[in-house]
Amino acid sequence: MKTDILKMGAAALAALSLSSPAFAAPVAEAAPAVAADAVGGGTAYILNTLLFLIGGFLVMWMAAGFAMLEAGLVRTKNTSTQCLKNIGLYSIAGLMFWVIGYNIAYPSFAEDSLGLIGGFTGIYSMQGVGEADLDTGYSVASDWFFQMVFCATTASIVSGTVAERVKIVPFFIFVTVLTGVIYPVVVSWEWGGGYLDSVHGFSDFAGSTLVHSTGGWAALVGALIIGPRLGRYGPGGQVNVFPGSNIPLATLGTFILWLGWFGFNGASQLAMGTVGDVSDVSKIFVNTNMAAAGGVVTAIILTQLRYKKADVTMALNGALAGLVSITAEPLAPTVGQSILIGAVGGAIVVFTVPLLDKFKIDDVVGAIPVHLFAGIWGTLIVAWTAAPDAGVTFLGQLVGVLLTMVWVSVASAIVWLALKAIMGVRPDEEVETTGLDIHEIGVEAYPGLANQS
C-alpha cells in the first residue's frame, strides 16, 4: 500500500504538467482547472490522515464481526472462549505490531538485496505532540494504526478455523509469532517495496494474499497439525454436522465484516487529496459491495441446485468470499467484472467446503475456502482486471501466491509443531467434550447444553 501512494503522487504531478509548452494552447488553458482539483500540502495531509483513521476504525470494527461470526458458528459450550480469543488476539496483534511487526513490514532494504529480508529499524515511534511532517503526506500514527488493524485481521482468520479444540495459551503464543513476524515479512515483500513488488511487479491492492491468504495458510497448517474436533468425522467418510449456536449472531457478524470492508478496501487508496482520489474511493466502495452481493447470490443458487435447499452459512461465507476476492484489486474492474469476481468467490466456497471434509480437514467457520482459496483467486484475476499499463502479469501474481504459501506454511508448521511438542495444543478429550468455556475460563454453559455436540 505504501508504495502506491508514491506512484499516485507521481501521477498527480504528471497531470499537473499539462501546462508544458509541448501541449497545444487549449490544453494549457485547462491546466489551472486541473490544479484546482488538488488541495495543498496541509489540507492534503489532513484529508489523507482522516482517510487512514476512518478506514482504520472500520477495519477494527471487523474484529467485532469476526468475534460475532465465530461465536455464532461454534457450539454454545465454546462461545465465551471464542470471544476471549478474539479480543485477546486483537490486543496481541497491536502490541506485537508496535514492538516489531511494523518495522519488519516496512524495513530498510539494501540497494543490492533481493528484498526478501530487510533491516530492522527499531521499535515504532510516533510523531511528537503537535508535530506533523507534511512531506509524508499523512500522519505517521494514522498509518501505523491503519496497518495494525490489517495485522489483527490475519490472526482472526486462524481463530475461526481451529476453534473448539485449541487451548488458549498455545493459541495466543501462535498469534504472537504470526502478527510479530510471519505476517509482517509477507507485507514487506509487496507493500514494503520488497521482492514481489520490485522484481515481479506483484499487485495486491488491499491484501487478498498478503492478509487473507496469509491467514488462510496459517489456518490450514494449524487444522492439519491439530486435527479435527472429536466426533466430527465417522467411519466410511461420514461427516457429522455440528450446528452453530446462534445463526442470527453469525449473520450480524457477517454484516459487520461487510461494513468494515469499505474501510479495508476504500482506505487502501491511501490518499484523499484530489477529486480523483475521492472518486476512486467511491468506486472502490461500489465494486466491493457488488462483489459481496455476487458471492451471496451465487452461494444461494448453487446450494439450492446442489442440495435442494439454500444454506445460510454458505450464503454468509459467500459474502465474505466475494469480499476477499475483490480485495486484491477493487478499483480497476468494472461493476460487472466485480460481480463476476465475487460470484466465483461464492462458488469456490460452495465447492471447497465439502472438499475439505472429504480430506477430514475440520474448518469450523469455513475460513480456509473464504480467505485462502478465494484470496488466491482474487490475486490471480488481477492480471485480467488491472489497468493495461500497470505491468501486472499472471506469472508475477502466481509467484506472489506461491512465495506466500511456502513462507507462511513452513513458518506456521514450525510454530504449531513446537507448541504441540513442548506444551500440547489440544485439551484432553473430557475438556473438549464438555466444552472449553467451563474448563479454560470457568464459564458455565447454559443449563442442559454443557454436553451439546
Output the nine-digit C-alpha cell for 264.
479495508
Coil, strand, or helix at residue 452?
coil
Residue written as grid cell 507521481: 10
In a structure prediction context, what are the per-residue pLDDT tens digits for the chain, which is 453 residues long? 655 444 444 344 333 333 333 323 233 333 344 444 777 778 999 999 999 999 999 999 999 999 999 999 999 999 999 999 999 999 999 999 999 999 999 998 878 788 998 877 777 777 788 887 787 888 999 999 999 999 999 999 999 999 999 999 999 999 999 999 999 999 999 999 999 999 999 999 999 999 999 999 999 999 999 999 999 999 988 999 999 999 999 999 999 999 999 999 999 999 999 999 999 999 999 999 999 999 999 999 999 999 999 999 999 999 999 999 999 999 999 999 999 999 999 999 999 999 999 999 999 999 999 999 999 999 999 999 998 889 999 999 999 999 999 999 999 999 999 999 999 999 999 999 999 999 999 887 554 444 444
Predicted TM-score (pTM) of this structure: 0.89
d(CA 214, CA 349): 18
Q: Report the distance separating Cα 24 and Cα 223, nearest Å.
A: 64
> What gap in Å lies between CA 130 and CA 87, rounded to an integer?
31
Our measurement of the distance from residue 92's CA atom to the centroid of its chain's CA atoms, rounded to an integer in Å, reads 17
Q: Which residue, chain included where needed, has cell 466426533?
A: 231
Cell numbers for 189: 515483500
Question: For the chain, how many residues are written?
Answer: 453
Residues whose CB is less than 8 angstroms from the CB of residue 13 and which lie 6 or more positions away in sequence, other chains included: none
Most distant CA pair in the chain, distance = 82
What is the distance between the alpha carbons of residues 237 and 366, in angstroms, rounded to a whole number?
Answer: 19
How many Å apart are CA 323 and CA 73, to the nearest integer? 19
| Cell 515483500 found at | 189
Report the DSSP beta bridge partners of residue 233.
Answer: 239
Q: CA-CA distances (angstroms) from residue 182 to 259, 289, 343, 397?
A: 27, 30, 30, 20
What is the structure's pLDDT at 453?
45
If one counts every other C-beta atom within 10 angstroms of the C-beta of residue 248, the result is 10
At 8 the pLDDT is 42
Please name the residues in contact with 184: beta carbons below 8 A apart, sequence gap of 6 or more. 97, 100, 101, 102, 104, 105, 151
Instruction: Give the integer Cα–Cα distance in Å for 215 and 84.
Output: 19
DSSP 363: -
Domains, the chain, ordered by start: 1-38 (no CATH), 52-110+139-424 (1.10.3430.10)
Q: DSSP states of 90-117 as a string?
A: HHHHHHHIIIIIHHHHS-B--TTS-SSS
